[in-house]
Amino acid sequence: MWLGFVNDCGWGAQVRYWELNSSATNTDLFTPQLITGDTTGFNAANTIQMQALDIEAIRNFCYCDWNVTTSFGYRHALRDSQGAMNFIAQVDRPTIIGGQTALYSGASSSISKFEGDGLTFSLAGSRPTCYGIDLFWNMRGSCLWGNSYSSSSAAAAVGTPFGGANFTTGAVSGKSDDIWIGELQAGAQWSRCLPCSNARFFLRGAFEYQYWGSTSGQTFAEAGVFDSGVSGMYVSASSPESSINLVGFALSSGITW
C-alpha cells in the first residue's frame, strides 16, 4: 500500500507499507514401515511473517524519454520465521528383552527473528508505449540495524512396559545485528482517465524479486533417548540464519491525480 504527493516542481513525499504472511503444514501420521513393520508419523508446521514500512522524500524528473522517480528515507522492517515438528513411533521390542512395544515421541521447534530500523533508497522508471501501456521498472535497496533473536528446542521421550526416559534441551541467542534488503520489479502498466475528474486509474503486473540478508545468530539443540540399547531416537533443531529470496508475480492498482 502506498500514499504520496508530488508538487509541480517534482518534489514530494510518500509512505509505503508491505507485508507477507505465509504458513505451511505437512502431516503423515501412523504409517507402517514396510521393512521393520514399525509404525511412525510426524506433523510439521512452518510460518513466516515479513513487514516493511517506508517514509521517504521523492523526486520526479525526465531522462531520455523515461519518467524517473528517485526516493530516499526511513524504513522499519520485521522478519520472523518459526518452525515446529512432532514425531511419534511405535517400535516392536525383541522377545529376548520382554517383547511388546516401545513408544517414542519427539518434538523440535525453532525461531529466528529480526526487527530494526534503517535507510532505504530507490530508483524507478516508466515509459509510455502503444494502447495506453507503459513499461516500468523499480529498484530498491535498504540497510537496517536492529536486534536479532533465535532459539531452538528439542525433546525426546520413550516409554516401554518396563520403564521410560525423557530428555529436553534448548538454546537461545540474542544480539545486535544488521541486514541488507534488495528489491527488483519490472513489468507493464495500463491506465485510463476517470470521467468527470483529473484522476487516472492504473493497473499493473510485474515480475518481482526480493532478497533479505541473513542474520548472524544461530542456535542448535539435540536430544536423544534409547531402549536397552536395542533402538533409539535423536531429535535436533536449529534456527535458520540463511538469507531469504522471494520470487513471484505482482498485481497492483491505484489512482493518481
* Residue 36 confidence (pLDDT): 57
Per-residue pLDDT, averaged over 135-152, amounts to 94
Q: In what order do the strands lie in the sheet with 101-128?
A: 2-6, 11-32, 39-63, 66-92, 101-128, 133-160, 163-193, 200-212, 244-256
Report the distance separating Cα 114 and Cα 82, nearest Å: 12
E strand residue ranges, the chain:
2-6, 11-32, 39-63, 66-92, 101-128, 133-160, 163-193, 200-212, 220-227, 231-238, 244-256
Those residues with Cβ within 8 angstroms of residue 160's Cβ, 6 or more apart along the chain or in another chain: 93, 98, 100, 101, 102, 103, 227, 228
* Residues 217 and 242 sit within 8 Å (Cβ to Cβ): no
Closest CA to 13 of 25, 3, 26: 3
Extract the C-alpha cell encoding 115: 526487527
| Single-letter code of the amino acid located at 93 | R
Highest mean pLDDT among 91-100, 185-194, 227-236: 185-194
* Residues 143 and 178 sit within 8 Å (Cβ to Cβ): yes
In the predicted structure, residue 98 carries a pLDDT above the cut 90: no
In the predicted structure, residue 137 carries a pLDDT above the cut 60: yes
pLDDT digits (tens, 9 = 90+) for 103-131: 889 999 999 999 999 999 999 999 988 87
Confidence of residue 257 (pLDDT cuts 50, 70, 90): confident
pLDDT digits (tens, 9 = 90+) for 177-203: 999 999 999 999 998 888 888 888 999
The predicted model scores a pTM of 0.83
